[in-house]
Structure 1
């Protein structure tokens, strides 16, 4: 299972707006993608509510994993962006 560790780029972390953008993108993929803090149980990247429960602030390292390498890369790229801009 491909896993990528990235740093949260959004100014206020993975709150409602970035979580919603990430979840919407994950829902459109033909693959299951999970996101989580290192060492913690990952959550479904297609659920904004579950992403917000991570409590990942700006600069936090998160792991993005899934069955499809391209899907993982797409979600990881969103996590790294400042989606508040």
Structure 2
């Protein structure tokens, strides 16, 4: 299983626009990905409701996991997205 950790960079955390952009990126990856915080449960990273339920604010460390083929590349891309301040992007 591929696993990566990322620190949420967006000033609004994983809410609103950053959450939508992240969910779209997960769907584009075309593989199942889970996301979790600390010792929390693994949630579907492709679900906007799951992301909002995480309560991940700026600076929160999240863990992404997938056991699908091509997971390493997909998770690397998702980590880059999470570590970008998507609120500052136009």
Structure 2 length normalisation: TM-score? Answer: 0.88
CA RMSD in angstroms, aligned pairs only: 1.0
- Asked which structure has the greater CA Rg, the reply is 2
The unaligned stretches of length 5 or more in structure 1 are: none
- The structural deviation recorded for 1:18 is 0.6
The answer to whether the aligner puts 1:69 opposite 2:72 as a matched pair is: yes
- Aligned length, in residue pairs: 85
Q: Quote the Cα distance in structure 2 between the aligned partners of 1:19 and 1:36.
A: 14
The answer to whether the aligner puts 1:33 opposite 2:33 as a matched pair is: yes
SS of structure 2 residue aligned to 1:74: helix
SS of structure 2 residue aligned to 1:53: helix
